[in-house]
Chain A
Amino acid sequence: MVEAYQRRSALAHFGLNALASQKADGAGITLGESAHRAIINIRGDAKDPAFTAAVKNATGCDLPAAANTVATAGDVRILWLGPDEWWVVGTDARRAGLIDGLRSAFAGQHTNVTDVSESRTVITMTGPAARDVLARGISLDLHPRAFGPGQCAQTSLSRTNVLLHQTDNAPSYEIYVLKSFADYLWRWIGLIAEDFGMAVKAE
């Protein structure tokens, strides 16, 4: 892990605070970055009650068993990635505690805990045009009857691998993207948003 004073978010070079101070009346989307989240990859058998209980114990959050869903408890979220793979997502402050908690709760079990926090950043997108902007680069059906709050999907957005999580009906989305692709994806969204109007949320 890098020293705290050296830490820079993957989108810091855009100067989000300066962009946020610009007037953007009637913007179709508001874009922001939620940097430095704790993202912990866990593997295990969802049918094993000892595993699900250990996850609940360590995080306070239930393990989502249904495909493409997210469970939330307080400031911890668990996102479904595959039939035996999940991300535990929390604030940066909880990172070490969550990892230690999961590792000790899993003692003796055939499981895996990997800290992948530094690999990704999160682009947040909210506003009435969010669905239209995403639709320009995604093959998923984002209509409310097919994809709603509490659902997530790993897919590709304008050729970039992302995890998309819808958080509310505004609609608001969180886009988990590899840090090295974040610059490209931000610029791409900006380009599409020229048709809808875009505001930036301060860091």
Chain B
Amino acid sequence: MFVINCPYCGPRDEHEFGYGHEAHIARPTLEQQGTMSDAEWANYLFLRTNTKGVHFERWVHTKGCRRWFNVARHTVTHEILKVYKMGEPKPDISAENLPR
């Protein structure tokens, strides 16, 4: 089990949260949607990075404040490297550059 530090409520047990899969996937603009190929649509809808290492993902504090936020988590060690609010830029963290 993780303890996740909700950016609004503070540290809470993992079972209070829901998982929202990969973060920072930009929805195509209306303009792009008009000209996108099937392969590009498939890429947007279905293909994910499936990272071994630092993964950026969305979580929601279902049983608490019900707010969404982003988490940078190492998929091998499950270490949570950073928790940041929706709208904040993707932090510069990689497997070679772990915050210590």
Query: A interface vs B, CB < 8 Å?
Result: 67-68, 81-83, 85, 139-140, 153-156, 161
Contacts and interface: CB of A to CB of B under 8 A. Distances in A.
A82 B65 contact: yes
A185 to B, nearest CB: 14
Interface of B: 8-10, 12-13, 15-16, 63-67
Nearest to A163: B64
Contacts of B8: 67, 82-83
Contacts of B67: 82-83
A67 B8 CA distance: 7
Nearest to A139: B13
Nearest to B6: A67
A83 B13 contact: no
A147 to B, nearest CB: 11
B63 A156 contact: yes
A161 B15 CA distance: 12
Contacts of A153: 9, 64
A161 B67 CA distance: 15
Given A67-B10, A83-B8, A153-B9, A139 B15 contact: yes
Contacts of B12: 139-140, 155
22 contacts: A67-B9, A68-B9, A68-B10, A81-B65, A82-B8, A82-B65, A82-B66, A83-B8, A83-B65, A83-B67, A85-B65, A139-B12, A139-B13, A140-B12, A153-B9, A154-B63, A154-B65, A155-B12, A156-B15, A156-B16, A156-B63, A161-B63
A107 B65 CA distance: 26
A46 to B, nearest CB: 12
Nearest to B64: A154
Given A68-B10, A82-B66, A139-B15, 15 more contacts: A67-B8, A68-B9, A82-B65, A85-B65, A139-B16, A153-B9, A154-B9, A154-B63, A154-B64, A154-B65, A155-B12, A155-B16, A155-B64, A156-B15, A161-B63
